[in-house]
Chain A
């Protein structure tokens, strides 16, 4: 890992941009094999007190690092901009080698609350033109996200960090009206969605999709929205009519109108879960089949029981991605488009209406 660094107190966006260009020239003059990555811009707006935690998460995304990260660290009562620009690469290019070293740029801007309403005028000069720009504001600051609207194509959101399921859904819907939303809560359910799909894919089980009569999702106590989005996905894909969910003793339950029968839906917090996301899911069908998937060693432990009482258990292999992996996946998804998210969000919202 090698880095070139520039910093200045009470600086301006133009000075930062100029310094970045100089850093690039210097770096390239030293090593012609140095090439800056050009994938996407990521603007992160954080509270200064929690900056370290967010930076740690960004460190863990590994190869899914965006090419230019602009971290706006908001400090109460600050009125000036301080900046630190870093140009780094995992390796230096070897002299005489054909290999190149991929460079990434990180700019940390210390700013104050008063900058947030016009944060676009700070960041505009700093984003690489023609690359997708992603905004992530994990500590709220909606005014910053609003201000950056004209620069932004994608908003990264972790709706489990919203105060409630309702506010998480509301926030996701608001953001979806102006940009493509990548919700980390949705991505936490991706392996589950893939495995439910695969479990019902073999011919003997596929017809059971139309006979689903009950779904229970177990989740981290603060990840109810990830479970609800899973219900929303099932409802939108299987044509269920979403019904209202009712809170009861820490759980949520309700019904959705399936084609042949009503579907009982239940969200159960699992206090033993240490990380955000889902702990397990059980799907029961009207014909007496039950399939459950639960976190287990080396992947998910799958259990299937039939009406005749036949039982089987197996492991669906897969390593946990960890929270760093989820964020990395969020950044990667910023370059893609998932056509099933919006219908799932609409169905989940209808369940909480």
Chain B
């Protein structure tokens, strides 16, 4: 006989139990930089998809803010176009109309007081019209230089706090371009906001694939006993792109591979791979464990940089059967640029679990293939009774967690080649997530926008996490900045520069890309 629920505390909502889609307080979302590329391609389509699925708060308003001067109606027309072009599902005209009904636009530069006066008016207008106080979420999708300006103005105009509702601020990456900038930005932001109001976006964390790493590690007992220095020989984390920088030279040449991917995405993968099991899956428990991993990686000295880090640029070559330009020949890249399109790194996590296990990271543009994976190589068996002759021989087991292009897990192990002799070769046991689930994964931005509106910071980077990441990466980018070019080259379409092999400790090799 099923039981009837006990009456709950007055403050709780007893209807929430069992629902997949939890209620979110009515929200007004303000996007700064609403006419930019990110808003156009990702944010507005993500918001539409949430509306389509009935996942947005029951009452929702959107205010676009950007420099270009245009009326509400023009912004709505542009938003409609973006959604129709980039939404992962065909737009339902009636849902789209309902969404656009509650869209406003506020033009002006980010330091213009009139912008914030108008924002106050629009936000309070929505409140008055509905007779409730909406939560306020501000999404900073602007150039990083404007982050402190906008946050400062939010504080100045009383938009950083609101009696009876929550105020949250999402800040896009990059969160600083070095340690000093990250610290300074944290100081500026936290002068106005509490840390729990701040949601630093690394959209990589919103991907199902990354969250699956936590499920893989902490929902399966079979890997935990071997997940340590006694059984693991080395780890390789690869984020390879087959494309060049395209038309993004403006951003990329001032950033480079280390800042673009290693400092944030790849360090996040490293922490998820190496962290201890959190006590709960609450945001601060998880982020606390991740910070401990970063804390266990020592700050490289200037002398160490050449031994643990390699940078390079792609030269002209062939990619996917087509001629490909070199990095220095790409549109808008200065011919004497010393920005790296490839970065590789060897790190050590100095704690009881990982001491002595080298962790290799590499990322690059115009490599042979697009792949993001973590390869965990186990130590070889202590004694081999088999003949190796006539076969490729016994290889150490490898566990590969693939994020792109096909999310999955594969395990290599030795198997006997059929025949009269005991000859062994490695074979793969492969699992693809796509074969085992029915649902289409939501876009990372859908997940992150919803989490921020709900106030769940699990998939966002905390202040100390960002600073710890920069503490490790900063000496490398600083040393590189002081080292004159030209940079080592690797041919477009190749596996990367030969210099990267120099990072490998004895007996280790990069996996083929």
Contact = CB atoms under 8 A, between A and B. Distances in A.
Given A199-B58, A298-B97, A314-B59, A63 B14 contact: no
Contacts of A37: 435-436
Contact of B54 (A35, A65, A194, A204): A194
B13 interface: yes
Interface residues of B, number: 56
Interface string A316-348: 111100000000100110011011111101110
Given A198-B24, A237-B5, A317-B51, A335 B438 contact: yes
B438 A63 contact: yes
A298 B92 contact: yes
A210 B10 contact: yes
Given A202-B26, A345-B2, A302 B95 contact: no
Interface in B1-37: 1-7, 10-11, 13-21, 23-26
Interface stretch (A95-103, A137-145, A267-275): A95-103
B440 A63 contact: yes
A333 B4 CA distance: 23
A297 interface: yes
Given A38-B435, A298-B98, A312 B2 contact: no
A302 B98 CA distance: 13
Contacts of B19: 193-194, 197
Contacts of A328: 438
A201 B13 contact: yes
Nearest to A194: B21
B123 to A, nearest CB: 17
A315 B13 contact: no
A339 to B, nearest CB: 5
A231 to B, nearest CB: 13
B163 interface: no
Given A239-B6, A319-B52, A202 B25 contact: yes
Interface string B277-300: 000000000000000000000000
A269 B23 CA distance: 29
A198 B13 CA distance: 9
B132 interface: yes
Tell me which of A38, A64, A198, A314 has the highest count of chain B C-beta atoms within 10 A of its own C-beta.
A198
Nearest to B26: A202
A328 B439 CA distance: 10
B405 interface: yes
Nearest to B96: A298
A193 B54 CA distance: 12
Interface string A261-283: 00000000000000000000000
A343 B369 CA distance: 53
A206 interface: yes
B5 A343 contact: yes
Contacts of A298: 92, 94-99
A193 to B, nearest CB: 7
B17 to A, nearest CB: 6
A340 to B, nearest CB: 4
Nearest to A306: B131
A54 interface: no
Contact of A102 (B10, B405, B434): B434
Contact of A198 (B7, B23, B52, B164): B23
A100 B406 contact: yes
Contacts of A239: 4-7, 14
Given A297-B98, A298-B92, A347-B4, A197 B438 contact: no
Contact of B10 (A99, A199, A207, A347): A207
Contacts of A317: 51-52, 54, 56, 60, 95, 98-99
A206 B13 contact: yes
A7 interface: no
Tell me which of B21, B53, B101, B405 has the highest count of chain A C-beta atoms within 10 A of its own C-beta.
B21
Interface string A289-302: 00000000111001
A235 interface: yes
A209 interface: yes
Contacts of B352: none
Nearest to A343: B2
Interface string B84-109: 00000000101111110100000000
Nearest to A317: B51
A275 to B, nearest CB: 16
Contacts of A319: 52-54, 92, 94-95
B130 interface: yes
Given A207-B10, A237-B14, A339-B17, A315 B98 contact: yes
B363 to A, nearest CB: 18
B11 A206 contact: yes
A31 interface: no
A241 to B, nearest CB: 8
B57 interface: yes
B54 A340 contact: no
A316 B58 contact: yes
B58 A198 contact: yes
A238 B56 CA distance: 25
A255 interface: no
A39 B437 contact: yes
B435 A200 contact: no
Contacts of A209: 13-15
9 contacts: A38-B435, A63-B440, A100-B406, A195-B58, A201-B25, A236-B5, A237-B15, A238-B5, A259-B7
Q: Which 3 A-B pairs have the closest CB atoms?
A: A318-B54, A298-B98, A340-B18
Interface of A: 35-39, 63-67, 98-100, 102, 191, 193-204, 206-207, 209-210, 234-239, 259, 297-299, 302, 310, 312, 314-319, 328, 331-332, 335-336, 338-343, 345-347
